Amino acid sequence: MIINKKRVLRILRKLQLLVTSFHHKSRKYSSYRGCVGKVAKNLTRRRFETAIFHQKITTDTTEFKYYENGNVKKAYLEPFLDLFNREVISFNISKQPSAQSIMSALHQAIKITSDCPFRRTFHSDQGWAYQMHQYTDKLKEHRIFQSMSRRGNCHDNSVMENFFGLLKQEIYYGYTFTSFEELKQTTTTWIDYYNTKRIKQKLDWLSPTEYRLKMIQ
């Protein structure tokens, strides 16, 4: 069904289906703890587009808050996203930003992208977890290039920043979670929806998964 996107916008407004805009003043989570390991060069250099799936992967960590027995608790999401179609290929949600949690998501990402015929690049910021030897050695073991954003420059990883903003805009801002399990389930469900059903204009109005399957046929 061919229809102008402006008409769709008018219909969404009429049916009150547009996402409500929320503004938050909380401090942005930063995983930077100084130079605790080796800092890699910025190989990506804001070149976020690629015609080869599973070749360029980016990652970051974001923080959530939830309530449990009247106390404020924190949770952390560590996704790995394919720059080919912006698909989340692996992720982990934990109650604290641990090396074990990030390495679990990394192992999944490495396994899933192992079908790439070219040498892969994994991009991140300069967070402590991405500097640790356990992380860097795993990338070297699989002959994966490591790339890092410049210090204090969020635009060097703007794709992940945009993804986090979209996620929180749709399921987090304006909502109150009363348990870690509720937050984890809601986030997991949304990521599945984002990958398989949420269409993007730049992907020919297909979801990330649909676009990838179309391109490899």
Q: What integer pLDDT is reported at residue 172 of this predicted model?
A: 93
116-151 pLDDT tens trace = 999 999 999 999 999 999 999 999 999 999 999 998
Q: Distance between CA 106 and CA 100 in Å, rounded? A: 10
- 53: containing domain: 28-215
State the chain's mean pLDDT as an integer.
Answer: 91
- Between the CA atoms of 81, 62, 104 and 39, what dihedral angle is there, to the nearest 10 degrees? 80
DSSP-assigned states of every residue in 115-147: G-SS--EEEE-S-HHHHSHHHHHHHHHTT-EEE
Q: What integer pLDDT is reported at residue 24 of this predicted model?
A: 57
DSSP-assigned states of every residue in 62-111: EEEEEEETTEEEEEEEEEEEETTTTEEEEEEEESS--HHHHHHHHHHHHH
Question: 58: helix, coil or strand?
Answer: strand
- Kindly report the pTM of this predicted structure: 0.87
Query: Is residue 146 included in any domain, yes or no?
Result: yes
Query: Is residue 54 included in any domain, yes or no?
Result: yes
Angle 107-108-112 from CA coordinates, rounded to 5°: 120
Question: 30: helix, coil or strand?
Answer: coil
Q: Distance between CA 180 and CA 96 in Å, rounded? A: 11
Contact predicate 65/28, CB 8 Å: no
- Better pLDDT: 152 or 52: 52
Dihedral-angle region of residue 205 (phi above 0 means left; psi in -120 to 50 means alpha; beta otherwise): left
| DSSP annotation of 6 | H
The separation between CA 161 and the C-alpha centre of its own chain, rounded to angstroms, equals 8
Q: Distance between CA 171 and CA 78 in Å, rounded? A: 17
- Please report which helix (H) or strand (E) contains residue 181, including its range: helix 180-196
Q: What integer pLDDT is reported at residue 25 of this predicted model?
A: 53
Encoded tokens for 64: 């959530």
Query: Is residue 193 included in any domain, yes or no?
Result: yes
Q: What is the CATH number of the domain that holds 62?
A: 3.30.420.10
pLDDT at residue 26 tops 60: no
Query: Is residue 2 included in any domain, yes or no?
Result: no
Q: Are strands 145-148 and 121-124 parallel, antiparallel or unpaired?
A: parallel
- What is the mean pLDDT of the segment spanning 61-88? 95
Query: Is residue 68 included in any domain, yes or no?
Result: yes
Look at the chain and report how many structural domains it folds into: 1
For tokens 């801002």, name the residue: 173
Query: Is residue 12 included in any domain, yes or no?
Result: no
33-64 pLDDT tens trace = 566 668 899 999 999 999 999 999 999 999 99
